[in-house]
Amino acid sequence: MASEKSKILIIGGTGYIGKFVVWASARSGHPTFALVRDLVPTDPEKAKLVQGFKDSGVTLVKGDLNDHESLVNAIKGVDVVISTVGGAQIADQIKIIKAIKEAGNVKRFLPSEFGSDVDRVHTVEPAKSIFGLKASIRRSIEAEGIPFTIVSSNYFAGYFLPTLGQPAPPTDKVIILGDGNVKGVFVDENDVGTYTIKAVEDPRTLNKVLYLKPPANILTYNEVVSLYEKKSGKKFERIYVPEEQVLKQIQESPFPINIVLSINHSVFVKGDQTNFEIEPSFGVEASELYPDVKYATVEEILSRYI
């Protein structure tokens, strides 16, 4: 007899990456629960999203990170907890950890990571502090002995590719940090959801970092621009910004531009998504573990926008 699929609770499911994780969980046949502050949100977009969850068979659970009892009760009803909370709530995940410890039944916790591996980056402020908070949450999970999987999904393709990392879709020029020859990793948000849910019951991902590095999507900034040019038929002037100037811009830019610049400095100047080997002692790679997943390539994703 086939074993029952794990019950999954997603905290932060109405956020940017959270909705993709919720949909992937529902699609995969896992009993899926989404923690929401309001069962009937007043915001029209959020209300539409929540209704979509319900239509997909997702159970809405009323709760809040600041309501310990509601958190514990929600967690007691599931096997796996996935946090996809946004940057402002990264530190608040300590409350999820406490609730998981009290509930005592969780087989796997996936904290809100979904970016570069924060234990292997060379970041400057303000990204350094944000990544430091994520790292401190990892240390708390380890200290409490909670079974975990970290999802390092690298760059959200839907965030970067439509504009090539510019404030708006380019028309005649593209500003590139560094020399444009450092490789980044671009992953479609739907695939982030799919790979995340694949990992929740997999013994190979237990207490490991799951890196999302689809081979066709490991590209330099220059290569991505060339693909965009090929698709659009346009030719852009490429303006390269040396590291010294990038660091100066980070210091002089207002929030949140300084955060975006400091993350891009880490990815495209320091090469923090591709400058290390994945060792079996700490990590595994998703496209190797799950070759059945037909991930969206950068070229395919660009076709949606051009």
Query: Which positions are catalytic?
Result: 134
Residue in this structure with the two tokens 């409350």, named with its chain if needed: 95
Could you tell me if 155 and 186 are in contact, meaning their C-beta atoms sit under 8 angstroms apart?
yes
Residues 6+ apart with CB under 8 A from 121: 131, 266, 270, 272
Residues 6+ apart with CB under 8 A from 113: 134, 150, 151, 152, 153
Could you tell me if 85 and 12 are in contact, meaning their C-beta atoms sit under 8 angstroms apart?
yes
Could you tell me if 243 and 269 are in contact, meaning their C-beta atoms sit under 8 angstroms apart?
yes
Residue in this structure with the two tokens 């698709």, named with its chain if needed: 231
Alpha helices in the chain (DSSP H): 18-27, 44-55, 68-76, 93-103, 127-144, 157-160, 189-199, 221-232, 243-252, 257-268, 286-289, 298-305
SS3 185: strand
Report the alpha-carbon distance of residue 104 to residue 107 in Å, rounded: 9
Could you tell me if 291 and 219 are in contact, meaning their C-beta atoms sit under 8 angstroms apart?
no
Report the alpha-carbon distance of residue 155 to residue 17 in Å, rounded: 12
Residue in this structure with the two tokens 């002995």, named with its chain if needed: 145
For 145, phi and psi rounded to 5 degrees? Answer: 70, 25
Residue in this structure with the two tokens 């591709």, named with its chain if needed: 274
Could you tell me if 180 and 222 are in contact, meaning their C-beta atoms sit under 8 angstroms apart?
yes
